[in-house]
Amino acid sequence: QQNKQAWPYPELVAHRGGGTLAPENTVAGFREGIRYGYRAAECDVKLSADKVCFLLHDDTVDRTSNGQGAAQGKTMAELSQLDAGGWKGGAFAGEALPTLANVAAYCLAQDMLLNIEIKPCPGRFEETGRLVAQEAARLWAGAAVPPLLSSFEIEALRAAQAAEPALPRAFLCEEIPADWRAILAELDCVALHCDHKTLTEPLARGIKAAGYQLLCYTVNDPADARRLLAWGVDSLCTDRLDLLPARG
Ligand code: G3P
Ligand code: MG
């Protein structure tokens, strides 16, 4: 059924760079992933006021930096001044809020696979999907494995598909919608990413039988991890790199 080249999902993917062991969505997080032997990480990417792709989960910088206010109102020069590590402890003070280019350089140098979650600021779905896809294609041009693009926002995935059809895509959802087959087909996705709490074994088996890869987030309990892998789930996105050891 799938005509697109599948993305080589490892069994474990570090959530937001290095999970909860380091400040999320920073290079320090990715370093933690490497330290634990992880081969892949997920991160959240959005656009600054001057349309630079950068890493941040929330709409505002308040929770994960020493700044305040809406992220999309700030230029990359302003965002670069923020301390994105101090909130997580003194050892991380001064950690930069990275651009997608910063993280691409790190991942390519370390042979780390990246799942870029397109996380648009309110009202910027199409623009963010398009520009993140174009920037990802430019940064990973010639790389052995392209980054995987995922999003909760269908409009952002549609824009990414139109701009860079060759980059692999995954539809991200909390609860799997009844029309998942139609969504995955329309967006020509290689995979579905869902909240592990809402997945059932029949659904997991159905998605696998339809030829898609399946990732669950955010799996932090080793017993849940074993159960999901036994259901045929390909990959687990986790905050607890210390509890879920990478193999091989
Ligand atoms: O991509 C999986 C996961 O990151 C989705 O949830 O809120 O952590 O971005 P969130
Ligand atoms: Mg995410």
Count CA within 13 A, CB hemisphere, residue 10: 22
Cα dihedral across residues 126, 127, 129, 130: positive or negative? positive
Q: Can you tell me which atom of ligand 1 is nearest the CA of 237?
A: 2
Q: Can you tell me which atom of ligand 1 is nearest the CA of 57?
A: 9
Q: Can you tell me which atom of ligand 1 is nearest the CA of 217?
A: 2
Q: pLDDT tens-digit profile of 162-196? A: 999 999 999 999 999 999 999 999 999 999 999 99
Q: Can you tell me which atom of ligand 1 is nearest the CA of 215?
A: 2
User: From the CA of 60, how far away is ligand 2's center (Å)?
Assistant: 15
CA distance 99 to 7: 23
pTM of the model: 0.97
Mean pLDDT, rounded, of the chain? 96
Pair type for strands 213-217 and 148-151: unpaired
User: Residue for token digits 């062991």?
Assistant: 21
Residue 8 has pLDDT above 70, yes or no: yes
- Give me the residues near ligand 2 (ion), CB cutoff below 5 Å: 44, 117
Ligand 1 cavity residues, CB under 6 Å: 15, 42, 44, 57, 117, 150, 172, 193, 217, 237
The total of other beta-carbon atoms located within 10 Å of residue 110's CB is: 14
Torsion of CA 194, 198, 201, 205, to 10 degrees: -30
Note the helical H segments in the chain: 27-35, 76-80, 100-110, 125-139, 154-163, 180-186, 201-209, 222-230
Q: Read off φ and ψ for residue 95, nearest 5 degrees.
A: -65, 135
Active site residue 15: yes
Q: pLDDT tens-digit profile of 32-80? A: 999 999 999 999 999 999 999 999 999 999 999 999 999 999 999 999 9
User: From the CA of 56, how far away is ligand 1's center (Å)?
Assistant: 11
Nearest CA to ligand 1 atom 5: 217
Active site residue 57: yes
Among residues 7, 10, 13, 15, which one is catalytic?
15
Burial (CB < 10 A; 0-12, 13-18, 19+), residue 212, is: buried
Q: pLDDT tens-digit profile of 182-234? A: 999 999 999 999 999 999 999 999 999 999 999 999 999 999 999 999 999 99
User: From the CA of 213, how far away is ligand 2's center (Å)?
Assistant: 18
User: From the CA of 217, how far away is ligand 1's center (Å)?
Assistant: 7
Q: pLDDT tens-digit profile of 86-102? A: 999 999 999 999 999 99
Q: Which of 97, 127, 105, 129 is nearest to 116 (CA)?
A: 129
User: Residue for token digits 């691409």?
Assistant: 104
